[in-house]
Structure 1
Amino acid sequence: MDDQRPETADPTAAHEPAVPEVDLPGDAFDAVLDSLDDRDPDEILRFEGFSVARGAEGADEDLSGDAADAYRLDPADGDRRTGLTERDLHEALSERAAAVTDWYVFERVVGEFGPRRAFLRWIEDADGETVETRYAALAEGIERAWGELKITATVTDRGERRYDVRHADDAGIPVDELDAYEDPLDARDLVTFDEKGRYRPLKTAPSLAGGWVFPDLGPRDLYETVETIYPATVANWHREREDELDVTHWRETMERQSGIYGVVKTWDRGEGHEHVDWVAEACCDDSQCLKRREWEYDEDTDLDVDGGDGAFPCREPCSVVVSAARKWTRLESEQPRTYEFDLTPSEKEQVEDIIDAVADGRTDEIREADTKEGANRYRTRFLRAKLFDEDGNLGGVPTEPDEE
């Protein structure tokens, strides 16, 4: 997803979006003056297409008196303007308000050079498109996907960014038909349960419930909302972009387990890593988690299972994986036995269909009237009635056979 270009809200529109008129707000102009005050006379404040500095002619002059209070403007494609008063500078910057407000948003409103700033710039492709192109797109609405979220960025006539965040399934639904929120911390309640009211132990599972919207967030609140819904995803995405993602592989993670989870360390039997492949296939598939698995068996040994296509990386086996592995370690320690019972070819295929449907979470999609489906509820109940004895044993064969 990192190479994906953002789309306008209506990507099928045939017309070229118009660049909106942008006013120069006083706080943006004040920020320019403050920035110049904090610089040496020979330091230049750069914007897209031009730069501004103090001084009438240049840093090589001995500035004093009125000259020290003057400003100069250097357009990239025009003649330098020198000896500008503060009023002159305001007029010149007002003519270039889009570039000034863009600088102000990222330098002063967003601030720090870190994950928040990188994420907000990524939303509108600020490192790949010009201010003019981005403001035109923002006027239409730029849409980005982040997991199951749809983020729409727009711009006001003062260059301020505003963001609409909602479930992707609620795209196009009017705000007044959704539950609207303002505080990023409200997202904590929204991610706790799925649509059926079941607890979500894994916040990056593709089971986020919809029906809500944060319709008017500023840049900082947008970041906090996204990080509340998908904790640490932006931070790890940024670390990966900066080649600073610290990955902890399976072996290292298991070696530091203790207590009830220490049993997982016994699962390495010198027979390769097939069991870890099974864990990754069960838990780390795109259908189960929106992260892209970057951890492997160890630093020198890759797993044989694909890591997925998620936008944000998974840097180590999570608590859900460790907990599941603990249970499977105990189950796999059992000695295999041979059980014999009769199935028709269709019944064998039906058992396979049932396992697939449960594993893929498709049981709710199978209609009660569709008895052609192997995992159909009535067809499964018929199979149970036919094959289970009164003690619930398949084929009448007990799990623990009587010892002779």
Structure 2
Amino acid sequence: MADSTPTASEAAATGDDPDVPDIDLPSDAFDAVLDELGDPDDPDDELRFEGFTVAVSGDGRAGDADARYVLDPAGDDPRTGLSERDLHAALAERAAAVTDWYVFERVVGEFGPRRAFLRWIEDADGATVAARYAALAAGVERAWGQLRITARVTDRGERRYEVRHEADAGVPREELTVHDDPLDARDIVKLDERGRYRPLKTAPTLRGGWIFPDVGPKAVYETVETIYPATIANWHREREGELDVSHWRETMERQSGIYGVIRTWDRGEGYEHVNWVAEACCDDSQCLKRREWEYDDETDLDVDGGDGVFPCREPCSVVVSAARKWTRLESEQSRTYAFELTPSEKEQLEAIVDAVADGRIDEIREADTKEGANRYRARFLRAKLFDEDGNLGGVPTDPDDE
């Protein structure tokens, strides 16, 4: 005797899986099925999707009063000669599969970055309808930079999304500022927690305290793209093997005007300076993108590109602006300065540079004088080693000016 236990897909289609939420078949989803079957440009008059297949039998056209339908014509137990009413009843038993088709084929539609992103959120290209709807009923969470995105399914198979800062996970909605317009995100991304302007939107300095609690497929895409511009588009290009990377040398050769000076940095003396730039600007602690650009097509940098989920395809404006400044600074001739420091003072100067570079100054408590970058220790070092003109060790920067 054959095993009659339904598969995961069959269970999702018929609603027999206890973990799959009860889904009603909305009229617009059923009308969309008839519309698809009645497409004059599709001579097969058949709709195939995970969990169900519907075809028009005989010479009738979908939507005609005398039209007859076949459910799962290639299956072991096809249901034939169905009227429109019979078809509706049969598809209502497979409402999860039908609404899944409707969401991605009609509500989302286009085969592009938005569709790929929304399917990625719920693993639609890897999990069955049954597994996804069961997970969506509880809420599927995904991380995108500093965002926490939660996807859910309604009793009509519609997708609804919540977007909040990862630091606000678990915070009750009523304690956060509620938004429903994706354009509100433009104000959220302007300033960090301390009210400072954020020139780099992918810096890990996104402030929290807000929530988009209930947005649809289009709005969640627009919200994420407003917070992290072009990240979904570039992520999708990379997945499709179409990411067009512009490496350092190519990008700098395009610079002109005040930024044209950067091109003078390449004088056949290697690319160590680019390693310094990448280490300074492109670390995960400074940018959430994963750097894919190198020195040129044939020369990789020695610095790791990071672990971000979305790729960086070219040196950004922040990198270019910083590189312009460093180009000018590096053009200076080296000089030898003589200072006398105790071993602890040398280590303290190193600790101060590290703390500033890593953005840890605010984390160092005033009472923690064991920390080299402690404010009181730094002030003591300044009092001891700097003269009244601010020269370290009393040594002027340009001795010729004395």
TM range (shorter): over 0.9
CA RMSD after TM alignment? 1.7
Select which of 260, 270, 273 maps to 1:272: 270
Which residue identity is paired with 1:22?
I
Which residue identity is paired with 1:225?
T
How far apart are 1:75 and its partner, in Å? 6.4
How far apart are 1:402 and its partner, in Å? 2.8
Name the SS of the counterpart of 2:206 in structure 1: coil
The CA distance in 2 between the partners of 1:390 and 1:380, in whole Å, is 16
User: In the alignment, what sits opposite 2:8?
Assistant: none
The CA distance in 1 between the partners of 2:276 and 2:18, in whole Å, is 50
Contact 1:45/1:52 (8 A) holds in 2: yes
Q: Are residue 36 (structure 1) and residue 45 (structure 2) matched?
A: no
Give the direction of change, closer, same or farther, for the CA distance of 1:218–1:393 in structure 2 (3 Å limit). same
User: In the alignment, what sits opposite 2:337?
Assistant: 339
Q: Which runs of 5+ in 1 are unaligned?
A: 1-15, 57-61
How far apart are 1:77 and its partner, in Å? 4.8
The CA distance in 1 between the partners of 2:119 and 2:103, in whole Å, is 10
The CA distance in 2 between the partners of 1:193 and 1:272, in whole Å, is 38
User: In the alignment, what sits opposite 1:27?
Assistant: 28
The CA distance in 1 between the partners of 2:314 and 2:50, in whole Å, is 40
Name the SS of the counterpart of 1:320 in structure 2: helix
Contact 1:55/1:67 (8 A) holds in 2: no
CA distances 1:186-208 after superposition (whole Å, capped 9, x unpaired)? 00000000000000000000000
Q: Are residue 127 (structure 1) and residue 143 (structure 2) matched?
A: no
Name the SS of the counterpart of 1:386 in structure 2: helix
The CA distance in 2 between the partners of 1:216 and 1:235, in whole Å, is 23
Contact 1:116/1:234 (8 A) holds in 2: yes
User: In the alignment, what sits opposite 2:311?
Assistant: 313
Contact 1:67/1:83 (8 A) holds in 2: no
Could you state the TM-score of these two structures normalised by the residue count of structure 2?
A: 0.93
How far apart are 1:86 and its partner, in Å? 0.7
Q: Are residue 210 (structure 1) and residue 208 (structure 2) matched?
A: yes
How far apart are 1:64 and its partner, in Å? 8.5
CA distances 1:278-324 after superposition (whole Å, capped 9, x unpaired)? 00000000000000000000011111111101000000000000000
CA distances 1:37-95 after superposition (whole Å, capped 9, x unpaired)? 10545232012132001114xxxxx5589896111111665311111111011001000
Select which of 49, 52, 64 maps to 1:50: 52
Of the structure 1 ranges 143-152 and 37-46, higher mean CA displacement relative to structure 2 is found in 37-46
Which residue identity is paired with 1:321?
V
Could you state the TM-score of these two structures normalised by the residue count of structure 1?
A: 0.92
Pairs aligned (count): 384
The CA distance in 2 between the partners of 1:91 and 1:225, in whole Å, is 38
User: In the alignment, what sits opposite 1:6?
Assistant: none
The CA distance in 2 between the partners of 1:129 and 1:48, in whole Å, is 11
The CA distance in 2 between the partners of 1:292 and 1:76, in whole Å, is 46
The CA distance in 2 between the partners of 1:55 and 1:354, in whole Å, is 79
The CA distance in 1 between the partners of 2:198 and 2:381, in whole Å, is 32
Which residue identity is paired with 2:285?
S
- Residues 12-91 of structure 1 aligned to structure 2 (within 5 Å): 18-39=19-40, 40=42, 42-56=44-58, 69-74=67-72, 77-91=75-89
The CA distance in 1 between the partners of 2:203 and 2:379, in whole Å, is 30
The CA distance in 2 between the partners of 1:17 and 1:190, in whole Å, is 41
The CA distance in 2 between the partners of 1:117 and 1:63, in whole Å, is 33
User: In the alignment, what sits opposite 2:11?
Assistant: none
Name the SS of the counterpart of 1:100 in structure 2: helix
Q: Are residue 139 (structure 1) and residue 130 (structure 2) matched?
A: no
User: In the alignment, what sits opposite 2:5?
Assistant: none
The CA distance in 2 between the partners of 1:87 and 1:63, in whole Å, is 15
Select which of 303, 325, 328 maps to 1:327: 325
Which residue identity is paired with 1:237?
W
How far apart are 1:271 and its partner, in Å? 1.4
Give the direction of change, closer, same or farther, for the CA distance of 1:184–1:202 in structure 2 (3 Å limit). same
The CA distance in 1 between the partners of 2:44 and 2:234, in whole Å, is 38
Contact 1:295/1:315 (8 A) holds in 2: yes
Which residue identity is paired with 1:50?
F
The CA distance in 1 between the partners of 2:119 and 2:174, in whole Å, is 29
Contact 2:52/2:94 (8 A) holds in 1: no
Which residue identity is paired with 1:51?
T
The CA distance in 1 between the partners of 2:393 and 2:226, in whole Å, is 50
CA distances 1:249-287 after superposition (whole Å, capped 9, x unpaired)? 011101010000000000012111000000000000000
User: In the alignment, what sits opposite 1:13?
Assistant: none
The CA distance in 2 between the partners of 1:374 and 1:76, in whole Å, is 74
Give the direction of change, closer, same or farther, for the CA distance of 1:203–1:81 in structure 2 (3 Å limit). same
Which residue identity is paired with 2:99?
T
Q: Are residue 351 (structure 1) and residue 349 (structure 2) matched?
A: yes
The CA distance in 2 between the partners of 1:175 and 1:75, in whole Å, is 48
Q: Which runs of 5+ in 2 are unaligned?
A: 1-16
